[in-house]
Amino acid sequence: MKNQTKNILVAPLNWGLGHATRCIPIIQELEKNGFNPIIASDGVALSLLRKEFPHLTTIELPSYDIEYAKKGENFKWKLIKNSPKTIYAILQEKQQIKKIVKEHQLAGIISDNRLGVHSKKVPSVFITHQLTVLSGKTTWISSKLHQHFISKFTECWIPDVNEIPNLTGKLGHLKSTKLKLTYIGILSRLQKKELPIKYQLMVILSGPEPQRTFLEEKLITELENYKDNVVFIKGKVEAEQKTEQIKNITFYNFMQTEQLEQTFNESEIVLCRSGYTTVMDLAKLQKKAFFIPTPGQFEQEYLAKKYKKEGLVPSSRQEKFKLDGLLLVQLYNGLPNIKQEVNWKQLFHLFESE
């Protein structure tokens, strides 16, 4: 094929699993369109993508080494405290990208929220759903800073639509901007299938430690009195998949795409974080859910409040969650079914200029 020799670097941020998992359909479509994806990341994000694409070349990038606060209210200050380490990692990343562009003769770069992964020598795309970066009283600073980084890229792809209804609200939509934005539609690696219901409740965890563990422990305690079938995916990417059956609950440490797609389609309702990648999956699959945002993560808290206010998905703060909250799910409408298909050929045309 014409594009067979064109190498495209795909580099998701290692922040939970969401950035990595929403890059899965991008990598798949690059292969379908005759490109050769090269994966670059670190930590669990890189581990996950190596499991999904064992045949592809992978590169380890410097870790942003993000540490998370044990208390949600300290989340922002912990990030600020760690910012010198993050900035150093971004500078290291930029130096490494110069070498990667040359060594692998890249034809393009797709960075999902990795701020240093771009080059003046090849078209560079930044993927984000956050043009506005919420941080309380410092939102205007964090947003301007983020937009400044985005301006270094050739294009910015937003996994949402530019009309109403949309999924990101003020996160992904600005009143005015000089940035070159493309709303690409909803990104999900999963497909809707009509399967018999096997589980009344699917719990899927993700996101940073120690909050992931705190929620796991809380939900296991809450579910002691739940009588129906539960599948509980802990979101811990390890060398091998582990399963455990305790009474009516089937536990998995993690699932890969094919099994996860089946499990979503076999589940009645989903209990999870309000991370944006999960939101897109639920919208694509038209599954009803209950959200527990990661404490202190402004973006997840905003999305949970937005969907609750719009009568789409109920939610609760982590420390206040009680099992009977799940009874509210059927009173809400569920996320909108957004029909816009991603036009991959048009998006990838950016990388076809000689």
Encoded amino acid at 5, one letter: T
Cα distance between residue 240 and residue 219, in whole Å: 24
| Contact of 272 with 303, CB cutoff 8 Å | no
Q: What pLDDT does residue 4 have?
A: 56
Tell me the average pLDDT across 233-242: 95
pLDDT band at 224 (very low <50, low <70, confident <90, very high): very high
Question: Tokens for 75?
Answer: 């989340």
Residue-wise DSSP of 224-237: GG--S-EEEE----
Model-level pTM? Answer: 0.92
* Strands 249-252, 243-246: pairing kind: antiparallel
Q: What pLDDT does residue 16 have?
A: 81
| Contact of 115 with 149, CB cutoff 8 Å | yes
- pLDDT tens digit sequence for 286-321: 999 999 999 989 999 999 999 999 999 999 999 999
- pLDDT tens digit sequence for 26-81: 999 999 999 999 999 999 999 999 999 999 999 999 988 665 555 555 555 555 55
pLDDT band at 351 (very low <50, low <70, confident <90, very high): very high
| Contact of 150 with 126, CB cutoff 8 Å | yes
Cα distance between residue 91 and residue 99, in whole Å: 13
CA dihedral 7, 12, 18, 23 (to 10 degrees): -10
Task: Identify which of 200, 202, 173 has the alpha carbon closest to the alpha carbon of residue 306.
Answer: 173
Task: Identify which of 269, 322, 280, 315 has the alpha carbon closest to the alpha carbon of residue 295.
Answer: 315
Q: Between 68 and 206, name the one with better pLDDT.
A: 206
Phi, psi of 154 (to 5 degrees): -65, -45
Q: Is residue 172 predicted with pLDDT exceeding 50?
A: yes
Q: What pLDDT does residue 7 have?
A: 98
Cα distance between residue 340 and residue 185, in whole Å: 6
Q: Tell whether the torsion through CA atoms of 24, 25, 29 and 32 is positive or negative.
A: positive
| Contact of 11 with 110, CB cutoff 8 Å | yes
